[in-house]
């Protein structure tokens, strides 16, 4: 079960943990398990590995709780720590990805299989994101993970906002060149999805 995220609850649990109450750390894990596992999933797209990486991030957080200086919010500190863990884990054991140029662009739309077509576009795009060089991949992952908040994504990466924006722009350009027909195909898929929805409603 996920507990609602609250800065006061985090602060109270951190203080209890630092005072020697190990069980208080469970509250932190319950509150942050979903964001940290989801974030890890975006880095590797492997469920088992995402949980392992998130677990490692929690252990590092446990070891480093005393080093949280309260200069930033607990969430900023935790996300930055998790991003460091995920980055170094992926450096040690990289995910198996195709080179960006080899990431296949799905073929033309098939009206009977619009849902599958849509799904294949999504999967192809996510595979292409993983095939980006790390310096461009991570800004994309964190920008969309943080609901397109540049400031939070930059704080998580411990980078200036301008640098993050520049890397995002470059990443978008790389993806755009990889999927030059995305607009047409995606629009067609949306059209067929809409048509199917209308037919079902009759």
Kindly state the smallest distance separating residue 54's Cβ from other proteins, in Å.
7
Among 37, 150, 193, 196, binds other proteins (CB under 8 A): 37
C-alpha 15/C-alpha 20 separation (Å) is 9
C-alpha 135/C-alpha 137 separation (Å) is 6
Neighbour count for residue 195 (Cβ, 10 Å): 12
Closest CA to 134 of 186, 64, 87, 79: 87
Binding mask 95-134 toward other proteins (x if CB under 8 A, else -) reads: --------------------------xx--xx--x-----
- 8 Å CB contact between 10 and 28: yes
Please report, as residue ranges, which positions from 155 to 194 form the binding site for other proteins (by CB under 8 A).
172, 175-176, 179-180, 182-183, 186
Choice between 126 and 195, CB closer to other proteins:
126
**Roughly what angle, to the nearest 10 degrees, separates helices 47-64 and 25-44?**
140
Note the residues at the interface with other proteins (CB under 8 A): 22-23, 25-26, 29-30, 33-34, 37-38, 41-42, 47, 50-51, 54-55, 58-59, 62-63, 121-122, 125-126, 129, 140, 144, 147-148, 172, 175-176, 179-180, 182-183, 186
């Amino acid at each position: 079960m996920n507990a609602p995220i609250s800065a006061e609850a985090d602060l109270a649990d951190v203080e209890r943990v630092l005072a020697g109450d190990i069980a208080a750390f469970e509250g932190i894990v319950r509150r942050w398990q979903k964001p940290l596992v989801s974030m890890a999933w975006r880095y590797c797209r492997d469920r088992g590995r995402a949980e392992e990486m998130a677990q490692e991030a929690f252990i590092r957080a446990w070891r480093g709780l005393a080093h949280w200086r309260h200069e930033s919010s607990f969430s900023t500190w935790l996300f930055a720590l998790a991003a460091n863990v995920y980055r170094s884990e992926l450096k040690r054991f990289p995910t198996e990805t195709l080179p960006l140029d080899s990431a296949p662009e799905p073929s033309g739309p098939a009206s009977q299989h619009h849902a599958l077509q849509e799904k294949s576009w999504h999967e192809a795009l996510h595979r292409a994101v993983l095939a980006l060089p790390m310096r461009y991949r991570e800004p994309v992952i964190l920008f969309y993970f943080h609901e397109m908040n540049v400031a939070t994504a930059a704080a998580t990466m411990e980078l200036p906002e301008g640098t993050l924006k520049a890397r995002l722009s470059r990443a978008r350009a790389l993806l755009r060149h990889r999927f030059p027909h995305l607009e047409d195909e995606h629009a067609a898929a949306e059209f067929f999805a809409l048509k199917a929805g209308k037919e079902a409603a009759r």
